């Protein structure tokens, strides 16, 4: 219970502008009884009419003199528990991630929209399946890929939502019109509650679970029935049947009249996945994603609140859907960085789900083929029950992986970006008309510097992270600010080939055309996926065999199945290894494991070739042998030695300012403040920095960053509170301060 004499209250939280609180005095008889999230009665406006409001904060800081304060009239009991929970959640996020209450509230509450029942269109197949098939065959012969896509789906489902076809299937209105004119389909409008996906699909029962799968389901559900609300981690390779387990758990929950939140990273939220849920649970499933309009989002909230939904599927924001009786939160691919919010409050969906599950007395299930260090560490510590699934249920072996030492290639005179082995294999696949994926393990910011002869990477002497190359021949550490001139020669072998590594996908494409003149290449990177649909477009045209090779950055290795792909080449595995943050090893392992998993998903066996300058690095070796447990043991040692999460906790403080000197000065002040505070507490904690952030300037705003590390998370939130208090005493015009707890990316 928060002590304080004043309550800051929001009058109408479903209003578009939740950014205004009103302060009321807490009367003697209610002192100590009021806390954030409570619904209270307050006199409002000139006539002092009693209205309901929600307590956002209890504080001792008066906003205006006592004699002018109105008093809280009373506590409303048992009303609108959903709002109360949402406010509690927002308060928790504010406390644990650093944010204003308003920003936290805006994250957890929907913005109310005028309820206009939108008109929706649907596409209905007019011909019987056989005839549709023959039209489909014709389209394929005529290379009408888009028409073929719709018809393929219409052979399976008689009716499809219009948005789904134009969106996920990427078919233009003109194409649909033409099919309509051919008399193959009809396009009709329908008025209904805005459900973003409505499939009148035949319901399908689940598969008979394997013993391992059934064990998980039975364990989780029987714990639940005994009143044990726990958190579980399912470590299961891709294709081991995790999704089928999720479906059976959700089924169990629905039978118990509970609702479920199914979190899936947006990039993995494919049409096929959605269909699987719709087939199982029909109309009582809905989806949340970034393509929904604000109105559609609000409708999903309303439907959930009114008990019209059992399941919501979506990325991290789906956590905030207000179910009256939440039973289960599932988080698939829990290791994905997209679960961490990039704006204030920078919450992590995993931890937030944990808190929410506790608050709602719900069960939490995480799943991943390559669990985050956080989750696995949690499992080792006993805070998650661990289940393992290690067989692919549809047969198909894991790919054979070989590591190619690029230093040896250079030594034997091969200066191409393709090793000899990779070239041979590519030639072979071209002949066999099988497909390949070439993966450039890179995200596209500041390059590191390495020696092409021995693989040595220039690192910061204080931080064990690689130095970033800056213009003017400078090398900079983004953790502590250490700087040095780029040496002329490699410090270990004296080779002059000490170069920044910045090979791009475009360059690879050119090299491919040079080496294999007839090759058909599709490229997928930040440049080719600017527009909204281009991502799906590239994937579906590759799936339809319109190219031999898909070349791309990290976005191509996530969760897509291409049965005809039998070769995956990772061009320079070290690229992500040299990202300048402590998660580089983990990210590399995950990406390489995922990349290798792309090969041989169909009936033909797959091969993966990992080219690297660091063939001895444990992330690469363990990914090649696809041994997660071994990788974890090495990686956690490194985290423990460096006091990095999850062995300890870390808070990044980002100071931004349009004026460089002012930003830097404030960052220094905050660093001193944090150092003194942590010294006072005599804690085992440390403060590092300040330094220029890894992206030192964005849109002419300068960025500085400081890190605090501590074993106790609470210590970090105390530092945060201290900084917030200090900031309140300043008059800041240009500077802004943000917090990032246990960051997943360097700021
Ligand atoms: P994951 O989510 O771990 O990738 P899925 O649940 O998608 O795994 O299952 C992979 C494949 O195995 C799917 O094609 C699915 O239909 C099939 N599968 C899953 N469970 C079973 C089962 N008990 N019996 C037969 N096939 C199964
Ligand atoms: Zn450093
Ligand atoms: Zn060298």
Tell me the residue range of the domain where 548 lies. 400-444+504-640
**What long-range pairs does 442-445 form, CB within 8 A, spacing at least 24?**
442/553, 442/554, 442/572, 442/575, 442/576, 443/553, 443/554, 443/576, 443/579, 444/525, 444/526, 444/553, 445/694, 445/695
Q: Is the CB of 210 under 6 A from ligand 1?
A: yes
Name the residue with the closest Cα to ligand 1, atom 26.
393
Name the residue with the closest Cα to ligand 1, atom 10.
239
Q: How many CB atoms lie within 10 A of CB 342?
A: 10
Q: Is the CB of 61 under 6 A from ligand 1?
A: no
* Res 12: pLDDT: 61
Q: Which residues of the chain have pLDDT under 70?
A: 1-3, 12-19, 77-83, 110-120, 189-202, 395, 442-447, 463-465, 470-471, 478-479, 501-504, 526-532, 559-560, 579-580, 681-683, 747
Residue 476 maps to a domain: yes
Q: Which CATH number belongs to the domain containing residue 33 in this structure? A: 3.40.1440.60
Which of 51, 84, 108 is where one domain is finished?
A: 108
Residues 363 and 453 reside in one and the same domain: no
- The answer to whether the beta carbons of residues 424 and 536 sit under 8 Å apart is no
* 486 Cα–ligand 3 center, Å: 14
* Res 79: pLDDT: 47
Q: Is the CB of 236 under 6 A from ligand 1?
A: yes
Q: Is the CB of 238 under 6 A from ligand 1?
A: yes
Q: Is the CB of 207 under 6 A from ligand 1?
A: yes
Domain count, the chain: 6
Return the ligand 1 atom nearest residue 240 CA: 3
**What residues are paired with 404 via a beta bridge?**
611
User: In a mutational test of the pocket of ligand 1, which residue from 241, 365, 366, 603 has the highest number of ligand atoms less than 8 Å from its CB?
Assistant: 241
Q: Which CATH number belongs to the domain containing residue 286 in this structure? A: 3.40.50.300
* Res 19: pLDDT: 55
Q: Which residues of 663-697 are buried (b: 16+ CB within 10 A; e: fewer)?
A: bbbbbebbbebbbebbeeeebebebbbbbbbbebe
Q: Is the CB of 272 under 6 A from ligand 1?
A: no
Q: Which ligand is nearest to the CA of 601?
A: 1
**Phi and psi angles of residue 724, each rounded to the nearest 5 degrees, phi first:** -60, -45
Any residues with CB less than 8 A from the CB of 284 and at least 6 apart, and which?
A: 254, 308, 309, 310, 311
Asked whether the bond before 408 is cis by omega within 30 degrees of 0, the reply is no
Residues 522 and 631 reside in one and the same domain: yes
* 248 Cα–ligand 1 center, Å: 12
Only one residue has tokens 């994603």, namely 289
* 240 Cα–ligand 1 center, Å: 6
Return the ligand 1 atom nearest residue 210 CA: 23
Any residues with CB less than 8 A from the CB of 95 and at least 6 apart, and which?
A: 717
Return the ligand 1 atom nearest residue 208 CA: 23
Residue 597 maps to a domain: yes
Name the residue with the closest Cα to ligand 1, atom 15.
241
Residues 245 and 180 reside in one and the same domain: no
Residue 86 maps to a domain: yes
Burial level of 704, CB count in 10 A (0-12/13-18/19+)? buried
**Phi and psi angles of residue 513, each rounded to the nearest 5 degrees, phi first:** -65, -35
Closest CA to 554 of 580, 584, 582, 581: 584
Q: Which ligand is nearest to the CA of 206?
A: 1
- The answer to whether the beta carbons of residues 449 and 472 sit under 8 Å apart is no
Rounded Cα distance between 650 and 747, Å, is 13
Helices (H), 517-658: 534-543, 574-577, 584-597, 618-624, 628-642
- For 678-734, what is each residue's pLDDT tens digit? 887 666 789 998 998 877 777 778 889 999 999 999 999 999 999 999 998 888 878
Q: Is the CB of 209 under 6 A from ligand 1?
A: yes
- The answer to whether the beta carbons of residues 319 and 353 sit under 8 Å apart is yes
Residues 256 and 129 reside in one and the same domain: no
Rounded Cα distance between 663 and 666, Å, is 5
Q: Which residues surround ligand 3, an ion (CB under 5 A)?
A: 451, 453-454, 456, 490, 492-493, 495
* Res 384: pLDDT: 98
- For 185-204, what is each residue's pLDDT tens digit? 888 765 444 555 555 566 77
Residues 586 and 534 reside in one and the same domain: yes
- Total residue length of the chain: 747
Q: Is the CB of 240 under 6 A from ligand 1?
A: yes
Closest CA to 423 of 567, 554, 623: 567
* 392 Cα–ligand 2 center, Å: 43
* 634 Cα–ligand 3 center, Å: 25
Return the ligand 1 atom nearest residue 238 CA: 4
Residue 463 maps to a domain: yes
* Res 40: pLDDT: 86
Rounded Cα distance between 435 and 43, Å, is 70
Residue 89 maps to a domain: yes
User: In a mutational test of the pocket of ligand 1, which residue from 210, 212, 239, 270 has the highest number of ligand atoms less than 8 Å from its CB?
Assistant: 239
Q: Which residues of 569-583 are buried (b: 16+ CB within 10 A; e: fewer)?
A: bbbbbbbbbbbbbbb
Residues 526 and 621 reside in one and the same domain: yes
* Res 455: pLDDT: 84
User: In a mutational test of the pocket of ligand 1, which residue from 243, 597, 603 has the highest number of ligand atoms less than 8 Å from its CB?
Assistant: 243
Is the backbone of residue 433 left (phi > 0), alpha (psi -120 to 50) or beta? left
* Res 594: pLDDT: 87
Residue 201 maps to a domain: no
Structure tokens of 281?
């649970």
- The answer to whether the beta carbons of residues 9 and 55 sit under 8 Å apart is yes
Q: Which ligand is nearest to the CA of 208?
A: 1
Residue 41 maps to a domain: yes
Residues 481 and 508 reside in one and the same domain: no
Rounded Cα distance between 164 and 168, Å, is 5
* 705 Cα–ligand 2 center, Å: 12
What is this structure's pTM? Answer: 0.78
* Res 504: pLDDT: 66
Rounded Cα distance between 169 and 165, Å, is 5
Run of H or E including 524:
strand 521-524
Q: How far is CA 496 from the centre of its chain?
A: 41
Q: Which CATH number belongs to the domain containing residue 659 in this structure? A: 3.30.70.600
Residues 180 and 88 reside in one and the same domain: no
User: In a mutational test of the pocket of ligand 1, which residue from 214, 236, 244, 250 has the highest number of ligand atoms less than 8 Å from its CB?
Assistant: 244
Q: Is the CB of 213 under 6 A from ligand 1?
A: yes
Residue 1 maps to a domain: no
Residues 560 and 577 reside in one and the same domain: yes
Burial level of 492, CB count in 10 A (0-12/13-18/19+)? exposed
Which of 389, 420, 454 is where one domain is finished?
A: 389
Is the backbone of residue 624 left (phi > 0), alpha (psi -120 to 50) or beta? alpha
Rounded Cα distance between 347 and 337, Å, is 11
* 369 Cα–ligand 1 center, Å: 14
Residues 452 and 315 reside in one and the same domain: no
Residues 560 and 631 reside in one and the same domain: yes
Q: Which ligand is nearest to the CA of 451?
A: 3
Q: Is the CB of 242 under 6 A from ligand 1?
A: yes
Return the ligand 1 atom nearest residue 369 CA: 3
Which of 459, 479, 501 is where one domain is finished?
A: 501
Residues 542 and 655 reside in one and the same domain: no
């Amino acid at each position: 219970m928060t002590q304080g004499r004043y309550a800051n209250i929001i009058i109408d939280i479903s209003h578009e502008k939740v950014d205004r609180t009103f302060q009321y005095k807490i009367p003697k008889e209610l002192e100590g009884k009021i806390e954030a999230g409570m619904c209270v009665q307050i006199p409002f406006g000139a006539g002092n009419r009693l209205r309901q409001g929600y307590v956002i904060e209890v504080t001792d800081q008066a906003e205006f003199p006592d004699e002018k304060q109105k008093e809280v009239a009373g506590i409303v009991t048992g009303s609108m528990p959903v709002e109360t929970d949402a406010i509690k959640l927002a308060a928790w996020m504010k406390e644990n991630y650093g944010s204003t209450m308003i920003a936290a509230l805006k994250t957890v509450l929907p913005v109310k929209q005028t309820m206009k029942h939108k008109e929706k269109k649907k596409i209905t197949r007019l011909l019987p399946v056989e005839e549709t098939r023959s039209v489909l065959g014709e389209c394929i012969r005529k290379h009408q890929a888009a028409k073929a896509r719709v018809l393929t789906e219409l052979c399976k489902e008689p009716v499809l939502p219009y948005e789904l076809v134009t969106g996920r299937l990427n078919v233009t209105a003109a194409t649909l019109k033409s099919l309509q004119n051919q008399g193959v389909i009809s396009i009709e409008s329908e008025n209904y509650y805005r459900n973003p996906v409505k499939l009148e699909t035949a319901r399908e029962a689940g598969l008979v679970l394997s013993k391992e799968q059934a064990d998980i389901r039975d364990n989780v559900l029987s714990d639940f029935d005994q009143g044990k609300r726990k958190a579980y981690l399912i470590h299961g390779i891709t294709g081991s049947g995790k999704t089928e387990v999720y479906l059976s758990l959700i089924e169990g929950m629905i039978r118990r009249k509970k609702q479920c939140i199914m979190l899936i990273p947006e990039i993995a939220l494919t049409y096929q996945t959605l269909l699987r849920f719709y087939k199982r649970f029909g109309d009582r499933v809905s989806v949340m994603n970034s393509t929904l309009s604000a109105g559609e989002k609000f409708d999903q909230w309303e439907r959930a609140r009114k008990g019209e939904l059992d399941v919501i599927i979506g990325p991290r924001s789906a956590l905030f859907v207000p179910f009256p009786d939440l039973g289960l939160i599932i988080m698939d691919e829990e290791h994905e960085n997209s679960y961490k919010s990039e704006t204030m409050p920078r919450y992590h969906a995993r931890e937030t789900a944990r808190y929410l599950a506790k608050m709602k007395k719900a069960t939490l299930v995480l799943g991943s083929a390559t669990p985050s260090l956080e989750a696995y560490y949690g499992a080792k510590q006993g805070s998650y029950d661990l289940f393992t699934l290690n067989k692919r249920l549809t047969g198909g072996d894991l790919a054979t992986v070989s590591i190619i030492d690029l230093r040896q290639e250079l030594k034997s005179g091969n200066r191409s970006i393709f090793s000899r082995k990779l070239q041979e294999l590519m030639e072979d696949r071209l002949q066999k008309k099988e497909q390949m994926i070439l993966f450039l393990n890179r995200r596209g910011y500041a390059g590191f510097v390495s020696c092409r002869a021995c693989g040595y990477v220039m690192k910061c002497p204080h931080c064990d992270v690689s130095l970033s190359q800056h213009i003017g021949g400078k090398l900079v550490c983004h953790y502590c600010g250490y700087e040095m001139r780029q040496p002329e020669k490699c410090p270990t072998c004296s080779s002059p080939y000490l170069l920044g590594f910045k090979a791009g996908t475009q360059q690879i494409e050119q090299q491919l055309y040079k080496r294999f003149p007839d090759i058909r290449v599709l490229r997928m990177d930040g440049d080719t996926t600017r527009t909204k649909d281009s991502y799906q477009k590239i994937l579906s045209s590759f799936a339809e065999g319109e190219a031999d090779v898909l070349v791309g950055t990290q976005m191509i290795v996530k969760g897509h199945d291409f049965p005809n792909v039998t070769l995956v080449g990772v061009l320079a595995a070290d690229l992500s290894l040299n990202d300048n943050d402590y998660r580089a090893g983990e990210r590399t392992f995950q990406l390489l494991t995922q990349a290798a998993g792309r090969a041989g998903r169909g009936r033909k066996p797959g091969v993966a070739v990992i080219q690297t300058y660091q063939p001895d690095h444990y992330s690469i070796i363990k990914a090649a042998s696809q041994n997660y447990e071994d990788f974890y043991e090495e990686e956690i040692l490194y985290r423990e030695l460096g006091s990095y999460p999850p062995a300890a906790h870390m808070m990044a403080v980002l100071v931004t300012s349009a004026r460089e000197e002012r930003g830097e000065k404030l960052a220094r002040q905050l660093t001193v403040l944090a150092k003194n505070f942590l010294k006072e507490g005599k804690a085992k904690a440390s403060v590092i920095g300040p330094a220029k952030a890894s992206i030192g300037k964005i849109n002419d705003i300068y960025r500085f960053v400081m890190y605090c590390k501590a074993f106790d998370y609470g210590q970090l939130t105390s530092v945060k509170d201290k900084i917030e208090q200090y900031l309140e005493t300043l008059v800041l015009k240009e500077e802004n301060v943000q917090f990032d707890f246990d960051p997943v990316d360097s700021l």
